[in-house]
Amino acid sequence: MSILKHPIFYISILVASALYIANRFEIPLLNWMYFYVNDFLCMPIVLSTCLAILRILKKTEALYVPISVVLALTLCFSIYFEWLMPQINTRYTCDIIDIGLYFLGAILFFKFQKQLF
C-alpha cells in the first residue's frame, strides 16, 4: 500500500483537512486558500484513494489509473459540484476556475502516479 503511506498523500490530506477546519472555525486566511487549494487537491486525493482501493481488491501494485478514467471522473466531479450542486444548494457556487483546478490536479496525478506510487 505505497499510496496510503506516501508523504505526498498524507500532506494533501493534511492541507485539505486544515483548510476545511479553518473554514469551519472562521480562521482568517487568504481567500484563494479557501476557494482554490482544496479544488486543486480534490482529484489527486480521490484518484489516489480509488487506486489504493483497487490495488487492495485486486491484490496487485501493478495497477494504474488510465487517462480516460482520470478525465471521466474529473468531468463527473466538475458537472456535479460546479453545475448540479449550485442549482440545488446555495452553499455551492459555479466557478470555472474550480473546474480548471480539478483538471490540473487530475492531470498532475496522472503524470506522476507511476513515479510516486
Contact 44, 105 (CB under 8 A): yes
- Quickly count: other Cβ atoms within 10 Å of residue 99's Cβ: 19
107 CB-side CA count, 13 A: 6
pLDDT tens digits for 74-102? 999 999 999 999 999 999 999 999 999 99
Single pTM value for the model? 0.92
DSSP character for 25?
T
pLDDT exceeds cutoff 90 at 110: yes
CA-based nearest residue to 42, from 2, 86, 87, 74: 74
How long a stretch of residues is the chain? 117
> What gap in Å lies between CA 78 and CA 26, rounded to an integer?
26
pLDDT tens digits for 61-77? 999 999 999 999 999 99
Give how far Cα 102 sits from Cα of 5, 10, 75, 84, 99, Å.
Answer: 23, 19, 9, 16, 5
